[in-house]
Amino acid sequence: MKMTFRWYGKGNDSISLKQIKQIPGCSGLMGLLDQYAAGEVWPLEVIQDYVKHVHEAGLEVEVIESVNVHEDIKLGLPTRDKYIENYKQTIENLAKCGVKVIIYNFMPVLDWLRTDLAREIPEDGSNSLYFDEEELKGMTPLEIVENTAKSSNGFTLPGWEPERLKELEHVLDLYKDVDQDKLRENYKYFLDAIIPTCERVGVRMACHPDDPAWPIFGLPRIAHSQEGYDKIVALHDSPCNTVCLCTGSLGSNPENDIPAVIRHFGEMNRIGAMHVRNVKYLGYHKFREASHLSSDGDLDMYEIMKAIYETCPDTYVRPDHGRMIWDEVGRPGYGLYDRALGIAYLNGLWEAIDKESKNK
Distance of CA 246 to the CA centre of its chain: 6
Taken in order 151, 54, 60, 244, the sign of the CA dihedral is: positive
* Cα gap 225→266, rounded to integer Å: 15
CB of 343 within 8 A of CB of 5? yes
Whether a cis peptide bond, with omega within 30° of 0, leads into 108 is no
**Catalytic residue among 111, 132, 211, 320, which?**
320
**Catalytic residue among 70, 264, 275, 292, which?**
275
Active site residue 321: yes
Active site residue 246: yes
**Catalytic residue among 224, 236, 321, 338, which?**
321
**Catalytic residue among 334, 337, 338, 345, which?**
334
**Catalytic residue among 208, 224, 236, 264, which?**
208
Dihedral, CA of residue 310, residue 27, residue 97 and residue 160, to nearest 10:
90
Reduced to 3 states (helix: H, G, I; strand: E, B; else coil), residue 291 is coil
Give helix then strand counts, H and E, for the chain.
14, 12
CB of 178 within 8 A of CB of 151? no
Among residues 194, 206, 195, the alpha carbon closest in space to that of 62 is found at 206
Sequence letter at residue 345: Y
Active site residue 208: yes
CB of 64 within 8 A of CB of 101? yes
Instruction: Write phi, then psi, for 284 (nearest 5 degrees).
Output: -65, 120
Active site residue 320: yes
**Catalytic residue among 246, 264, 316, 345, which?**
246
* Cα gap 38→306, rounded to integer Å: 36
* Cα gap 323→119, rounded to integer Å: 10
* Cα gap 37→67, rounded to integer Å: 9
Residues with a known catalytic role: 208, 246, 275, 320-321, 334
